[in-house]
Amino acid sequence: MLVLGIEGTAHTVGVGIVSEEGVLSNVFHMYRPPQGGIHPREAANHHAEYLPKVLREALNKAGVSMGEIDGIAFSQGPGLGPCLRTVATAARVLSLKLRKPLVGVNHCIAHLEIGRFTTGAEDPVMLYVSGGNTQIISYAGHRYRVFGETLDIGIGNLLDKLGREMGLPFPGGPRIEKLALQGEKYIPLPYSVKGMDISFSGLFTAAVNKLGEERKEDIAYSVQETAFSMLVEVTERALTHLGKDEVLLAGGVARNRRLREMLIAMTEERGASLHIPPDDLCVDNGAMIAYLGLLMLKHGKAMRVEDTAVIQRFRTDEVEIPWEVKRHRKIYRRAPGAEAIIEPVDFLGKKAVKKIRIRKGYRIKALDEQLRKERTRKEAKIMHEVKHLGILAPIIYDIEDFEITMERIEGKTLANTLNEMRGEEVSEILSRIGEMAARLHNAGYAHGDFTTGNMIMKDGNIYLVDFSMSEKNAGIEEKAVDLHMFEESFKAAHYTHLSCLSDFYSSYAASGDEEIIKHVEEIKRRRRYA
């Protein structure tokens, strides 16, 4: 089976041709604005101009004629409306003219599937890093689900915007990478990790404010070290949460050598494997669209022309996956956590655990020590204080620079047990969690990693643990992130109980601030491809 795929979600127009054996051709051309960022209409005009040339070259390289093509695929979303509509129109024309089946595919899933196809990864956690997208994606329950993502701008957007502020031409990412190689000093910058979500806008603002005060090379170096450490941390947290041991790197920023070095260090420390497709398959390209189209067509997912309208905000988990994704056979369940390792100990005759924030090899020493010390002190302080609110949390016995010795809670995390419960049991538990969140927020605290993985059930009681991302005197943003994080992680990990999620919000609204619930919707709208 031969499938032709057309990509055109943003700055790149591409055509790829694939068979079930491999990629036959992959040709693309990037729109480079003379100044500033991407203008959607100008990019669409670029796609219309270059698509015929790219199409001819792809056919020539593959050594096939249009008559030999068995199906047509195109990027249906997410992306920029004018660009998407341009390639969708071209795909429809080809399909009608050749009388070949047509299918629109999700751009993000295309990155994941071409990565699995070309690297041999079976069931990975994908770190997807591009201009408009920064997401942690993995398979669960017949869909690819988003377990974490940027709450504002994508990593590629951060680097390109910083490049523009430095007077560098588009795209800025590769030029920032070159500048960073000459960096000599680490400049502390905002490090914003919220569970498995991240935020880059504060980092960008702080970096721009350093221009004129610090060398550009040092700023570039510091931005990369900070931003990439955030990315690797949330990827490791997803591995821990899901019990997986494969990472797949995808997207244009995947070509950055420093990001690759950091992921190699993290996966080696965990005994996991890292998979990276060839560079031309990391960037936006037609071959990945063609391959996902091939999978969809093989499983009877051809579309009528009238059903091929583009979807600018095409969420990854909207697509049901009809093919089998095998659970990886070498799950490394004894891997350390993303934040720390937990060791059972005896403390003056009491059953206890020692939480040790170990050195992370992917982070430079200055940043690593700063984070470990700050998080250890803050966690101990807030964990002690929230007990006065009636929230169950471990008792602290001792604290050192990077270690906390605390009460051992003998129970199971809700992440591991909730899916085994009946619907009415889950509803009751979610109501209690909603009340817990409201109590925490009413007192001015945000947990920062509010997921069922950080809740332990013991003797019918729910204990809240892992306060390393918590904030005191939190604002509406931090509190809304707690709710947003709980909702998104619940949808991904407990999709069989989605109907119960309303019980969490109803309980929260009964004793919490409804403005915080409204702000959750603001966070969702803010994300470019939400």
DSSP label at 30? E
HSE-CB of 501 using CA atoms within 13 angstroms: 19
Which residues make beta-bridge pairs with 211?
214
Scan for tokens 């206890």, then name that residue.
Answer: 352
Distance between the two ends of the chain, CA-based, in angstroms? 34
Token couple for 298: 């093989």
| Dist CA 465 CA 430 (whole Å) | 17
Residue type at 421 in one-letter notation? M
Q: Which value, to the nearest 10 degrees, does the dihedral of the CA atoms of residues 401, 402, 405, 411 take?
A: 160
Scan for tokens 């960008």, then name that residue.
Answer: 204
Token couple for 183: 């960096």
| Dist CA 321 CA 305 (whole Å) | 21
- Largest Cα separation within the chain, whole Å, is 80
The residue ranges of DSSP E strands in 408-489, in sequence order, are: 412-413, 445-446, 455-458, 461-464, 471-472
DSSP label at 448? S
Q: Are 137 and 129 in contact (CB under 8 A)?
A: no
Token couple for 396: 């602290």
Q: Which residues of 202-225 are buried (b: 16+ CB within 10 A; e: fewer)?
A: ebbebbeebeeeebbbbbbbbbbb
- Is 449 designated active site? yes
Token couple for 221: 């170096």
| Catalytic residue from among 317, 449, 482, 503 | 449
Given strand 143-149, what is the order of strands in its sheet? 143-149, 134-140, 125-129, 246-250, 273-275
Q: Are 187 and 152 in contact (CB under 8 A)?
A: no
Query: Which is it for the CA torsion 308, 313, 318, 322, positive or negative?
Result: positive
| Dist CA 528 CA 40 (whole Å) | 14
| Dist CA 530 CA 526 (whole Å) | 8
Instruction: Give the strand pairing for 23-30 and 12-18.
Output: antiparallel
Q: Which residues of 153-162 are buried (b: 16+ CB within 10 A; e: fewer)?
A: bbbbbbbbbb
| Dist CA 464 CA 455 (whole Å) | 5
Vertex 422, ends 421 and 426: CA angle to 5°? 75
Return the active site residues.
Answer: 449
